[in-house]
Amino acid sequence: MTDLVRVLIVDDSAYVRKVIRQMLSRSPFIEIVGAARDGREALEMAAELKPDVITCDLIMPQLDGVGFIRKQMARHPIPIVVVSVASESGELVLAALDAGAVDFVQKPTALATDRLLEISDELIEKVKVAAQARPAVSRAPTPPVVHRAAATHAFDIVVIGISTGGPQALKLLIPRLPAELAVPVAIVLHMPVGYTELYARKLNEQSALNVLEAQGGELVTAGQVYIAPAGRHLTFRRNSAGQVVTYLDVRPLDTPYRPSVDSLFHSAADVYGARVLGVVMTGMGSDGREGSAWIKAKGGTILTESEASCVVYGMPRSIVEAGLSDGEVGLEQMAAALLERV
């Protein structure tokens, strides 16, 4: 990265604004162009300063974070990274992502203490990634697609790996899949602890399929969507009756993310062999590349989201460049592409 990332900080706390400025200023690639006390001031400053990225709190006077994001995206989409406290604003975080925020960082505390410095590295990295992102405009859930039975049933499971931009993308994809889907779907979505259960519940309300956060030990059955809980890997085992069940574990401990797309994909290939359809969608980094290679080695198939529809074309790019993708599909066409194959 050679160009400076120009950042506007939005937070009603003077202390938090000061600390975020200090944290981001550690990077030679980031320039702080301003700091706003609430959403109204942020709208004015964004129009004047034209930042590359905005960091935004959610609970603020005058105009809160979600309201600001909605108005800013309607005026001029800018990548926004939410910086908030999970315990107090879980619902608000999901609303902010739905409104078009690119990503979020969880504050370790709501208090004005040096503990805020704990998020320094994560915040810097996410701001740098956000500068390369294409913000997704919020779209209303679409009705389920009418399912036509395929001539052949080539797969027994669909496994999906997704990260930055994932909450918005899955909200578009999963509600388009019909209740009579012939296979189960398992998803690794990179989110901090405390969000996946709420997100799964919200997605379930919008979907014909049954969406749940995996608890471990569930029978893996058609028409079910299992979302890996934040902090634990989702894999599969066969029980004594030969049925496939979900299995959760914090191990392996050395993965960049927990849950790991690689762990999910590797396990699916081991259990289902060639009858695995893997899908790698928007997100930074390369999680899923090794797992995709294992699926391919077992005879399975990999689809990747096309660059044009990704918020961040990182994970799919790693698959394509490794020669592992069997097809690139835009987000709008992804549900139809899955239905054609399963």
Instruction: Give residue-wise pLDDT tens across range 41-99.
Output: 999 999 999 999 999 999 899 899 999 999 999 999 999 999 988 555 578 889 999 89
The predicted pLDDT at position 199 comes to 93
Give 341 or 89, the one with higher predicted confidence: 341
Q: Which residues are catalytic?
A: 163, 190, 287
* pLDDT band of 111, cuts 50, 70, 90: confident
CATH 3.40.50.180 region(s) of the chain? Answer: 157-341
CA 53 → CA 48, 136, 179, 208, 252, distances in Å? 14, 14, 39, 36, 34
Ramachandran region, residue 106 (left: φ > 0; alpha: ψ -120 to 50; beta: rest): beta
The tokens describing 222, both together, are 């058609």
Q: Using CA of residue 238, residue 244, residue 245, residue 250, what is the dihedral sign?
A: positive
Q: How far apart are CA 334 and CA 304, in angstroms?
A: 9
CATH of 5-130, one of 3.40.50.2300, 3.40.50.620, 3.10.450.50, 3.40.50.460: 3.40.50.2300
* pLDDT band of 1, cuts 50, 70, 90: very low
Fold of 157-341: Rossmann fold (3.40.50)
Share the mean pLDDT of the chain: 90
Asked whether 229 and 213 are in contact (CB, 8 A), the reply is: yes
Q: First-to-last CA distance in the chain?
A: 41
Pairing of strands 301-305, 233-238: unpaired
Contacts of 321 (CB under 8 A, 6+ apart): none
Q: Mind spelling out the 3-state secondary structure of 267-301? A: HHHHHHCCCEEEEECCECCCCCHHHHHHHHHCCCE
Instruction: Give residue-wise pLDDT tens across range 121-165.
Output: 999 999 999 999 987 655 544 555 544 444 456 899 999 999 999
CATH 3.40.50.2300 region(s) of the chain? Answer: 5-130
Asked whether 204 and 234 are in contact (CB, 8 A), the reply is: no
Question: Rounded to the nearest 5 degrees, what angle is found at the Cα of 331, between the Cα atoms of 213 and 264?
Answer: 40
